[in-house]
Amino acid sequence: MGNEMMCDALAAELEAQQAAQAGGAHRSAPHELRRLRIAKRESQEKFWSRFGVTQSSGSRFETGLAVSPPVAILLRLYVNGRVSDGDLQA
């Protein structure tokens, strides 16, 4: 799966979750989060720090822990290209 297709799939998943779970914690497709990070060739620490998340929590998100709404929003904006690495400074 290409990087752009993964981003689209993750964005669609996050949007569907937001619609289904308004106001609660969001479940994201853990395999898509991991694939996105690996496609960027980044460690968990580097990837997740841009969203204000520790490596430990990022690891949990990648294995199925619910992603909090603020992080889910940032992820969706990032995947959709609305915010860049420069916008998300660690």
pLDDT, tens digit (0-9, with 9 covering 90-100), for 53-89: 999 999 999 998 889 899 999 998 998 889 988 888 7
Question: Which of the pair, 71 or 14, is modelled with greater confidence?
Answer: 71
**Percentage of the chain with pLDDT > 90?**
40
Dist. CA 69–CA 21, nearest whole Å:
10
Q: Write down the pLDDT at residue 89.
A: 73
Alpha carbons within 13 angstroms on the beta-carbon side of residue 36 total 25
Length reported for the chain: 90
| Band of pLDDT at residue 9, cut at 50, 70 and 90 | low
| Band of pLDDT at residue 24, cut at 50, 70 and 90 | very low
Dist. CA 54–CA 9, nearest whole Å:
24
Residues 6+ apart with CB under 8 A from 76: 11, 14, 15, 18
